[in-house]
């Protein structure tokens, strides 16, 4: 018997329970409570937050260093309220690495500095914020994925959520439950980098933006022996193992003398067609400076995620009919500081102020929602993103040119580049072909102790994925035959095998050449969708609750 999709009505639905949307929901609810305490006409909007992770914070991953500026604005007593801060930055170092050598940069430029920043696990911060949202009376649905927008009269009027209990072929299993239709007056998209719902909305409501660009960060948390680092020590690295043509770098943050975050950001641009972000982190850890710290330690958690790195010029329109875009979905990342959580929170606060006005005047028109853009342009978040807008672009001509230009920009912000680039380069326009693009990476064998294979890392990602569900990675059979197994193989040796940090893509040769998809390994990092040179991969959300289960990330 066919089961009907149930429909629930809300005033506001937040898609994604990251720092942007949780800050937004909490701030909005508090403004409403303050209003109701002073006014005879109470406002009672219904608010829901959904997230595809199986618990709050499950899919949140970052270094993470938090500039507390936005948090202080809406949660001045965050420390007293138990915000899970591990340490405050106590010491900073910047290094340039060669394979066996290290060169300390004599001072950390102010624009790079993390003075006053908080070290924390983003997944724990998300869980704490979800708890605070719950205390404010906000309904939070985890294990719930937004699969598509619900469009009515040309407006986004809600979302469809995922069906539960379909088998590999799409048939209903015994435990089948149809997804819901969550109707709303405004949908707030805060899915993080390259969200699936936002992708669909970008096609339905194209904006003038030249499009986003991305990097991939791969991160591990380690327990290390005492006596090597002090709580709050922050070290950032350029150079090894990347060539001078590639953008990227590593980090090491000491949450305590025995718990560290170590990670590496790899560019997925024209100079890194065969980029292997997981391998870059493994090789980075073998540098003597890092190896000395890790020896005797244990890796306790591993994960990966793309980072939106296009900055101000790549930001999409922040609103559309019936929706707002927050946080990294809106590209709120300052690559110069390698920070975005504070900008994500600030965008959430500005969205909340816009939503409050909309609820107050019962006006959810495009004009009303568009005031979010004005709020953003008048905020410190815009100022910060404007000041750093050329930083990442400066590295398009290689590390040394980038360091020179970035240094110049830091000293004289207005004179850094002859003119602001109006559009981003097509990340694949200069994609080198197989013959010229194979980097000379020596044969690498993980030792299972300091370095790990992709499969070994997955054991520490707390992955969960029902194998008997429709494959969430879609590539047309004709594209597999014509592109993957012929054109892409000949030109790039199938970069998906390299750039996916979870070994999801595997080219097999027996009995006949085929592309095998190990979809249950997927970390939801979205690298494949942003790095696929032929655009043949579509990543759609699997059943809610699938994917990694981060806790220390
Ligand atoms: Fe990341 Fe999953 Fe794509 Fe692999 S298949 S690159 S883990 S999103």
Does residue 531 line the site of ligand 1, with CB under 6 A? no
Q: If you take atom 8 of ligand 1, which residue's CA is the nearest one? A: 526
* Ligand 1 centroid to residue 456 C-alpha, Å: 16
The pLDDT assigned to 270 comes to 44
Of 60-69, 341-350, 490-499, least confident by mean pLDDT is 490-499
Range(s) of the chain covered by CATH 3.30.70.20: 455-539
Of 46-55, 269-278, 379-388, 483-492, least confident by mean pLDDT is 269-278
**Residues in Cβ contact with 220 at an 8 Å cutoff, skipping those fewer than 6 apart:** 261, 262, 263, 281, 299, 301, 302, 457, 460
Does residue 526 line the site of ligand 1, with CB under 6 A? yes
Name the one residue in this structure whose structure tokens are 């970069």: 495
Range(s) of the chain covered by CATH 3.30.9.90: 86-121+213-310
> Is 549 a residue whose pLDDT tops 70?
yes
Does residue 395 line the site of ligand 1, with CB under 6 A? no
CA–CA dist 138, 45 (Å, integer): 10
pLDDT tier, 424 (very low <50, low <70, confident <90, very high otherwise): very low
What fold, for 455-539? Alpha-Beta Plaits (3.30.70)
Calculate what percentage of the chain has a pLDDT beyond 70.
Answer: 92
Does residue 530 line the site of ligand 1, with CB under 6 A? no
Does residue 500 line the site of ligand 1, with CB under 6 A? yes
Does residue 528 line the site of ligand 1, with CB under 6 A? yes
455, 539, 542, best to mutate for ligand 1 pocket (most atoms within 8 Å of CB): 539
User: Which helix (DSSP H) or strand (DSSP E) does residue 435 occupy?
Assistant: helix 434-437
CA–CA dist 120, 261 (Å, integer): 9
Tokens in use for 479?
């594209």
* Ligand 1 centroid to residue 416 C-alpha, Å: 36
472, 501, 516, 547, best to mutate for ligand 1 pocket (most atoms within 8 Å of CB): 501
> Is 161 a residue whose pLDDT tops 50?
yes
User: Which helix (DSSP H) or strand (DSSP E) does residue 17 occupy?
Assistant: none
Ligand 1 atom closest to residue 500's alpha carbon, by position in its atom list:
6
Q: If you take atom 4 of ligand 1, which residue's CA is the nearest one? A: 500
Give the 3-state secondary structure of residue 134: helix
Q: Are 228 and 274 in contact (CB under 8 A)?
A: no
Give the 3-state secondary structure of residue 403: helix
Q: Are 387 and 62 in contact (CB under 8 A)?
A: no
Give per-residue pLDDT as tens, 196-221.
Answer: 999 999 999 998 888 888 999 999 99
DSSP state string for 340-369: -HHHHHHHHHHHHHHHHHHHHTT---HHHH
* Ligand 1 centroid to residue 386 C-alpha, Å: 31
Q: If you take atom 1 of ligand 1, which residue's CA is the nearest one? A: 525
CA–CA dist 324, 156 (Å, integer): 10
Direct distance between the N- and C-terminal alpha carbons of the chain, in angstroms, rounded to an integer:
43
Does residue 527 line the site of ligand 1, with CB under 6 A? yes
Q: Is the peptide bond before 44 cis (omega within 30 degrees of 0)?
A: no
* Ligand 1 centroid to residue 165 C-alpha, Å: 22
Give per-residue pLDDT as tens, 266-297.
Answer: 987 544 557 899 999 999 999 999 999 999 99
Does residue 284 line the site of ligand 1, with CB under 6 A? no
Does residue 502 line the site of ligand 1, with CB under 6 A? yes
Mean predicted confidence (pLDDT) in 235-262: 93
474, 527, 531, best to mutate for ligand 1 pocket (most atoms within 8 Å of CB): 527
Q: If you take atom 2 of ligand 1, which residue's CA is the nearest one? A: 522
524, 538, 542, best to mutate for ligand 1 pocket (most atoms within 8 Å of CB): 524
CA distances from residue 438 to 248, 314, 431, 532 in whole angstroms, order as listed: 18, 29, 12, 16
pLDDT tier, 522 (very low <50, low <70, confident <90, very high otherwise): very high
> Is 177 a residue whose pLDDT tops 60?
yes
* Ligand 1 centroid to residue 306 C-alpha, Å: 10
* Ligand 1 centroid to residue 455 C-alpha, Å: 13
Give the 3-state secondary structure of residue 512: coil
Which top CATH class is 7-65+126-211+313-387?
A: alpha beta
Bigger pLDDT: 444 or 377?
Answer: 377
Give the 3-state secondary structure of residue 186: strand
Give per-residue pLDDT as tens, 221-240.
Answer: 999 999 999 999 999 999 99
Q: Are 50 and 156 in contact (CB under 8 A)?
A: no
475, 528, 532, best to mutate for ligand 1 pocket (most atoms within 8 Å of CB): 528
Ligand 1 atom closest to residue 526's alpha carbon, by position in its atom list:
8
The pLDDT assigned to 55 comes to 97
**Residues in Cβ contact with 39 at an 8 Å cutoff, skipping those fewer than 6 apart:** none
- Please tell me the CATH code under which domain 86-121+213-310 is placed: 3.30.9.90
Range(s) of the chain covered by CATH 3.50.50.60: 7-65+126-211+313-387
For residue 160, the cross-strand partners are: 148, 181
Task: Tell me the torsion sign for CA atoms 49, 54, 55, 60.
Answer: negative
C-alpha 204: how far from chain center = 22
* Ligand 1 centroid to residue 515 C-alpha, Å: 15
Give per-residue pLDDT as tens, 37-87.
Answer: 998 899 999 999 999 999 999 999 998 899 999 999 999 999 999 999 999
Ligand 1 atom closest to residue 537's alpha carbon, by position in its atom list:
3
The pLDDT assigned to 178 comes to 96
Burial class (CB within 10 angstroms; exposed 0-12, middle 13-18, buried 19+) of 226 = exposed
The pLDDT assigned to 434 comes to 52
Residues in the chain: 553
Does residue 522 line the site of ligand 1, with CB under 6 A? yes
Tokens in use for 450?
């300091």
């Amino acid at each position: 018997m066919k089961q009907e999709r149930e429909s629930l009505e809300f005033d506001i639905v937040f898609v994604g329970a990251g720092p942007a949307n949780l800050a937004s929901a909490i701030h909005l609810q508090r403004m409403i409570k303050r209003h109701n305490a002073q006014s005879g006409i109470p406002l009672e909007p219904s608010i829901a937050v959904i997230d595809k992770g199986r618990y709050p914070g499950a899919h949140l991953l970052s270094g993470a260093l938090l500039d507390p500026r936005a948090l202080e604005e809406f949660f001045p007593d965050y420390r007293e309220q138990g915000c899970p801060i591990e340490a405050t930055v106590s010491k900073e170092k910047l290094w340039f690495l060669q394979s066996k050598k290290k060169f300390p940069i004599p001072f950390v430029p102010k624009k790079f500095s993390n003075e006053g920043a908080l070290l924390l696990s983003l997944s724990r911060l998300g869980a704490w914020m979800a708890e605070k949202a719950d205390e404010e009376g906000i309904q939070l649905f985890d294990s719930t994925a937004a699969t598509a927008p619900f469009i009515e009269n040309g407006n986004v009027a809600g979302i469809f959520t995922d069906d539960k209990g379909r088998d590999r072929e799409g048939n209903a299993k015994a435990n089948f439950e149809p997804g819901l239709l969550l109707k709303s007056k405004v949908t707030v998209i805060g899915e993080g980098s390259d969200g699936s719902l936002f992708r669909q909305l970008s096609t339905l409501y194209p904006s003038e933006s030249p499009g986003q660009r991305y990097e991939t960060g791969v991160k591990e948390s380690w327990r290390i022996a005492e006596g090597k680092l002090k709580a709050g020590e922050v070290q950032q690295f350029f150079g090894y193992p990347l060539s001078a043509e590639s953008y990227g770098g590593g980090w090491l943050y000491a949450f305590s003398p025995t718990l560290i975050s170590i990670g590496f950001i790899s560019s997925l641009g024209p100079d890194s067609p065969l980029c292997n972000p997981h391998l870059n982190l493994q090789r980075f850890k073998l540098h003597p400076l890092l190896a000395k710290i890790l020896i005797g330690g244990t890796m306790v958690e591993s994960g990966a995620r793309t980072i939106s790195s296009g900055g101000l010029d790549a930001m999409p329109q922040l609103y559309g009919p019936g929706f707002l875009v927050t946080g990294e979905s809106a590209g709120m990342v300052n690559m110069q500081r390698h920070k975005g959580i504070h900008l994500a929170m600030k965008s959430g606060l500005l969205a909340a102020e816009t939503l409050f006005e909309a609820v107050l005047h019962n006006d959810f028109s495009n004009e009303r929602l568009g005031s979010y853009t004005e709020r953003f342009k008048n905020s410190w978040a815009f100022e910060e993103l404007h000041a750093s807008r050329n930083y990442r672009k400066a590295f398009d001509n290689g590390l040394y040119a980038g360091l020179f230009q970035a240094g110049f920009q830091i000293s004289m912000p207005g004179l850094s580049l002859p003119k602001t680039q109006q559009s981003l380069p097509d990340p694949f326009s200069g994609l080198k072909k197989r013959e010229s693009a194979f980097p000379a990476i020596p044969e690498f064998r993980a030792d299972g102790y300091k370095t790990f294979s992709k499969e070994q890392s997955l054991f520490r990602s707390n992955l969960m994925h029902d194998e008997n569900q429709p494959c969430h990675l879609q590539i047309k059979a004709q594209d597999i035959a014509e592109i993957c197994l012929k054109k892409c193989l000949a030109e790039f040796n199938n970069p998906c095998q390299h750039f996916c940090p979870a070994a999801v893509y595997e080219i097999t040769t027996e009995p006949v050449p085929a592309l095998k998809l190990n979809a249950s390994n997927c970390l939801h990092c979205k690298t494949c969708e942003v790095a696929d040179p032929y655009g043949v991969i579509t990543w759609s959300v699997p059943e809610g609750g699938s994917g990694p289960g981060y806790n220390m990330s």
